[in-house]
């Protein structure tokens, strides 16, 4: 499976999805105008990955800021990961946030309450 790598900017997150190396990360800011278009290749990659996932996946989210459209798409990503987890594969979420960023922490807690995925909360 080919690696997906997107270099981040002030409005778009850095995305690294590499099955061979076991690296799954979305980090930075996510408040682009067309979040659906931006996340389409990410969703396509994760959907393809779900058909033949690694035995263990640690998916890292380190989003400093995300708009409403991006938060919905992150929810969609988590839903796919939850499906992989329910099919018997080991999936865990590493939610990284700045110590003083209560909004990001609360969003992660909300997501953790929706899914049966193990979440690890990490402050930086």
Q: Is 48 a domain residue?
A: yes
Tally of CA atoms within 13 A in the half-sphere of 104 that contains its CB: 22
Q: Is 62 a domain residue?
A: yes
pLDDT in tens, the chain (124 residues): 999 999 999 999 999 999 999 999 999 999 999 999 999 999 999 999 999 999 999 999 999 999 999 999 999 999 999 999 999 999 999 999 999 999 999 999 999 999 999 999 999 9
Q: Is 82 a domain residue?
A: yes
Q: Is 59 a domain residue?
A: yes
The total of other beta-carbon atoms located within 10 Å of residue 109's CB is 12
* Domain count across the chain: 1
Q: Is 90 a domain residue?
A: yes
Range of the domain at 53: 39-66+74-100+113-124
Q: How far, in Å, are 31, 73, 74, 78, 106 from residue 34 at the CA level? A: 9, 11, 14, 20, 24
**Token code pair at residue 81:** 């990961």
Q: Is 54 a domain residue?
A: yes
Burial of residue 67 (CB within 10 Å: 0-12, 13-18, 19+) is: middle
Judged by DSSP in three states, 70 sits in helix
pTM, entire model: 0.96
| Per-residue pLDDT, 26 | 98
Give ∠ CA 99-14-91 in degrees, rounded to 5: 75
Q: Is 61 a domain residue?
A: yes
Q: Is 94 a domain residue?
A: yes
């Amino acid at each position: 499976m080919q690696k997906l790598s997107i270099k981040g900017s002030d409005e778009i997150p850095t995305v690294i999805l590499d099955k061979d190396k076991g690296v799954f990360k979305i980090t930075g800011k996510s408040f682009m105008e067309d979040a659906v278009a931006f996340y389409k290749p990410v969703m396509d990659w994760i959907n393809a990955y779900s058909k033949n996932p690694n035995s263990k996946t640690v998916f890292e989210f380190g989003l400093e800021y995300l708009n409403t459209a991006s938060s919905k798409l992150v929810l969609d990503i988590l839903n796919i990961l939850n499906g992989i987890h329910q099919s018997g594969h080991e999936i865990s979420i590493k939610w990284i946030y700045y110590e003083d960023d209560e909004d990001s922490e609360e969003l992660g807690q909300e997501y953790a309450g929706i899914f049966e995925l193990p979440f690890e909360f990490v402050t930086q």
